[in-house]
Amino acid sequence: MRTRPAPASCSISGTGEHSPEAIAQALVGLIDRVQTESHLNLQPLRLIQVTANLGEAANFWNRALGLPETGVSQQPEGVVAGKHMSWGTSKESARSIIILPDYVAAAIALDAPAATATLIHELGHVHDDFARGLTRGFRPYQTPPHLNDWPGLCSYIAEEMTWSEYAAESIAAGYYTPEELASFERNDGSHLAGVHTRLRQSICKFLQGQVDFASLWSGSVTNLSDLFANLGRAAAHLPFAENQGEARGRLVSPDSEAVCWRSVVERLVGELRTLREKDYSEWGPAPFGRLAEVVVLGFEAAGFFPAYNGNNLHVKVR
């Protein structure tokens, strides 16, 4: 039996020429459609907020939940086009909201595939968070661990960044046009190469004494977290490529500056696929352990070699 969510309300502002009523009708209609087609469990969903300032809205909710004001990620390769937040420690207390930029909501009202897939991606997060909570136990809202907590960082990047983005995008990918998927395929390789180049430049500046280690490490953890999140999304696109092997190879082409990531990407795709092929209840007690090992390999590919003794973190760079 399909589980319907409690009626999600819509808070809408800044929609330009589109009426709030038309936007709300389009959003609710899309939710009903996706539930029918993809069998998502959206029981925790309570609100879709449409706003002209995504970062400001995200920080409002962070403050309301007593969390750090993190805003939304912005990288040279692109900016976030939607955000979800889930919290609660039980099936009954679980709650989720989705925040959308006004231009994305307006495009959904016009049936634009990319905008439609953006909302479906966020709905995928709601489903994935709730499903994991039901099978593995609900936890407090997950915030990034301290920068000296190496095991915690690896686990967080593996589960909350890489897997979470892969799971959500695996649902959304079927709603993109072939042209949009081809564009992602081109851009994902550029994203990997661009982040890798920036990381190498940062290491060079550190070795030359131009930046201190604290700045290098903080910025690099942020960049690698974003990179693994995008690699999760890229892995979700592969099943929709005409030739998955060729598409995966183009993620790290032989002439790419990030060619050292080839084996990392190969293993990452394999680990994600293994998890995806099982029900959440079949994952076992430590499902993200092997994915965390891939995160370690990614840091090493970028030039970071952390050593953690349970109390202190020492990082060699080269």
Q: How confident is the model at residue 143 (pLDDT cuts 50, 70, 90)?
A: confident
Q: Per-residue pLDDT averaged across 287-304, rounded?
A: 98
71: left (phi over 0), alpha (psi -120 to 50) or beta: left
The pLDDT, as a whole number, for residue 77 is: 56
The pLDDT, as a whole number, for residue 70 is: 74
Query: Against a cut of 0.75, is the pTM above it?
Result: yes
In tens, the pLDDT along 169-226 reads: 999 999 999 999 999 998 999 999 999 999 999 999 999 999 999 999 999 999 999 9
Residue 3 scores a pLDDT above 50: no
Q: How confident is the model at residue 5 (pLDDT cuts 50, 70, 90)?
A: very low
Average pLDDT over all residues of the chain = 92
- Given a contact cutoff of 8 angstroms between Cβ atoms, the answer to whether 55 and 80 are in contact is no
The pLDDT, as a whole number, for residue 171 is: 97
Three-state SS for 104?
helix
Q: How confident is the model at residue 16 (pLDDT cuts 50, 70, 90)?
A: low
Q: Where are the alpha helices (DSSP H) in the chain?
A: 20-38, 54-64, 102-109, 113-136, 150-156, 164-172, 178-207, 213-237, 244-251, 262-276, 289-302
Element (H, E) at 313: strand 313-317
Cα distance between residue 66 and residue 52, in whole Å: 23
Contacts of 216 (CB under 8 A, 6+ apart): 202, 203, 205, 206, 317
Q: How confident is the model at residue 81 (pLDDT cuts 50, 70, 90)?
A: confident
Cα distance between residue 219 and residue 205, in whole Å: 13
Residue among 162, 189, 191 nearest 267 (CA): 162
Cα distance between residue 72 and residue 16, in whole Å: 23
Structural domain boundaries in the chain = 9-136, 150-317
For residue 51, give the DSSP letter: E
